[in-house]
Amino acid sequence: MGKRKGMRNKQNPFAKRKREQKEKGQSEPARRDKPYEDLVRENENFETYYKRQNIVPSEEWDSFMEKLRANLPTTFRITGSKNQAQALLKIIKEKFFAEYYRAVAELKEHGEEIKEPLCLGWYPNEFAWQLDLSRKDIRRSEPLWKLHNFLIAETSSGNISRQEAVSMIPPLVLGVEPHHKVLDMCAAPGSKTAQLIEALHSNSGECLPTGFILANDIDNKRCYMLVHQAKRLSSACCLVSNCDSSAFPQLKLKNEAGEMEDLKFDRVLCDVPCSGDGTMRKNPDIWSKWNLSHASNLHGLQYRIARRGAELLEVGGKLVYSTCSLNPIENEAVLHRLLVEAGDSLELEDASHLLPTLKFNKGISYWEPATKDMTFYKTFEEVPNSQRTVIRKQMFPPNPEDAPKYHLDRCIRVLPHQQNTGGFFIALLVKKAKLPWESSNGASKAVVVESETNEADKESSSVVANKSGPAEKSNQSKKKERQHRGFKEDPFVFFDGEEEIFASIKDFYKLNDDFKAINLLTRCLEGKKKNIYFCSDILRRVVINNEQSIKFINLGVKTFVRCDNRNRSCDFRLAQEGLPSINGFIGKIRRATLERDDLIALLSASDPTKPPEITGLSESAQKSVQELEAGSCILHFNDGELELMLVGWRGTKSLRAYVDQHDSVHMLRLLGADCSRYEKNKFEEKKEAENAAN
């Protein structure tokens, strides 16, 4: 949605860091003196620890380590909620994969074989693909420049997402449907949130989903990365918040009787912060930095987030707990701890049937916690007092006789060598009943449980927050506070339906009576409203009832934009990103139907100041356009196989398409038009620049 005031004067974070270091008399930290290819991908403690945990069968260990040391292949998925998805898939298969095959033939060196594009069979509708080249390979390879340009352009337009394969699994397992209320507790940077939005809109057609996505993150800066990701999906049903997910407040909502009640969620995603050793292929720096203190320090935080997620979950709802860590201390130990406290209220559910063809290992029921120096312990009683703030009782596995009732084998651990991916852990929990401490007679018990289990966790959280030592504790605390608090947000100002500007908008676009003006909002209290946003009714009520208890960052989708045009009946034009949300409310009088060649001509116009003349369009298009009053309109194309709708502007003698370049290229591609003028070969440009310089 709209930019916040604090972002108007952007500062380079690296330059700012240098200035702060200079002021403190600190020298600039040394940059990595070796590229990733030259990093030594070895860590003896890593191998010792994971061999002891038996997460990998001994006969597969060498394959596991070999794949873990290799670069991660490129994966991407097509946005399934968009009606052009199948058409885009066809183009990818017929054009870009054909070019990929030709390019790979040129790239083969030293007899190395590069595999054909692989469809991820466990992802629905053939919408996810894996290329046997890393992102860097594609970016630096001249034969693949067209594929690289394609991935960038389609990502910018929101029609594909470049996302690690295993990262796509948690949203699939969560099973979001259009009527679900969904909480994404640790959402940034937002690739999984985008998947959740897609699922929410999967079967909605022209009707808005009755559910919503509430995407939260504790880091204020990362919240804006999240906003950027969510904006590509143009959803009126997504809300971004900024708070500590382990202490997420109990939101309120009025029921049909007008009474305030607790807002519970049908689906909760807990993709918690973790040590990230499953991402070594993508982040090779982890090889030299890996040690067990990371996992031990994070265990308590991970538990508290999962516990709070379970509390916010509706009875009958589902929660996915996931990490990009292989460590049972961050995975099975967290779940076992939560299941012990929850009793019969929570149950792990087998989700393997939701992921056909996916290779994985089942969760384990025995592991041995260890200290940073690789001292292993089989029972908590063996742990010396000096280590009991690091190795806590809750980190140990269940007794062998109790283990079967927790069903930890229903967890999913994906290992890199199984299908050439990163490492990941996923578990699906179902809430069978209220948690023991949620009932009225369990309140006092909850306090006891909290005080008994969280004392050590608070210590470990302090360790994580203050890695630089006691001398820097004060500065670290202030920095963390600034980071989490962030900038003061512009207000959410909702319409009341009596605004004069809304009357003109409703009359000009012939909005039907189902459209509620109160679901429109701006981000300014005074002055002229530049942008008007639209959100679903339930999210409006969520914000109004809870804006004092939580910091909301972003809501809705830009729908109307103030325009400066003397000959107009309405001061606001339509915005392309908001069109899918309000299309069903707009009357036929603001629509024009175009032929394929008409649309290609509009999208290919080289000079935006000189749009195509109406008289140059097809006869049917001329007739349709002539019936329009001058101003913003909807341009519609449908040949039975492909349907496109975009925002246009009907001038006195001309017609223009009001879409950005990435959307223009996307639509031209779908229409089978020539996109060469948008295809820039950076390698050729570099050669030309070098020749000119010589």
Which residues are identified as catalytic?
Answer: 324
Name residue 475's amino acid: N
551 has which bridge partners? 242
Intra-chain end-to-end CA distance of the chain, in Å:
47
- Reading phi first (left if > 0) and then psi (alpha if -120 to 50, else beta), residue 136 is in alpha
CA atoms of 612 and 627, how far apart (whole Å): 17
CA atoms of 520 and 502, how far apart (whole Å): 9
- Does residue 415 contact residue 64 with C-beta atoms inside 8 Å? yes
- Say whether 498 sits in a helix, a strand or coil: coil
Question: What is the residue-wise DSSP string for 448-470?
Answer: HHHHHHSHHHHHHHHHHHTTT-G
Structure token digits, residue 393: 């009782």
Q: Helix count (H) and strand count (E) of the chain? A: 24, 25
Pairing of strands 265-271, 313-323: parallel
Could you give the angle at which helices 145-156 and 661-670 cross, rounded to 10 degrees?
Answer: 110
CA atoms of 431 and 383, how far apart (whole Å): 34
- Does residue 603 contact residue 668 with C-beta atoms inside 8 Å? yes
78 has which bridge partners? 160
CA atoms of 421 and 417, how far apart (whole Å): 7
Pairing of strands 238-242, 551-555: antiparallel
CB atoms within 10 A of CB 687: 12
Alpha helical stretches, state H, 454-589: 455-465, 473-485, 500-509, 537-546, 579-582
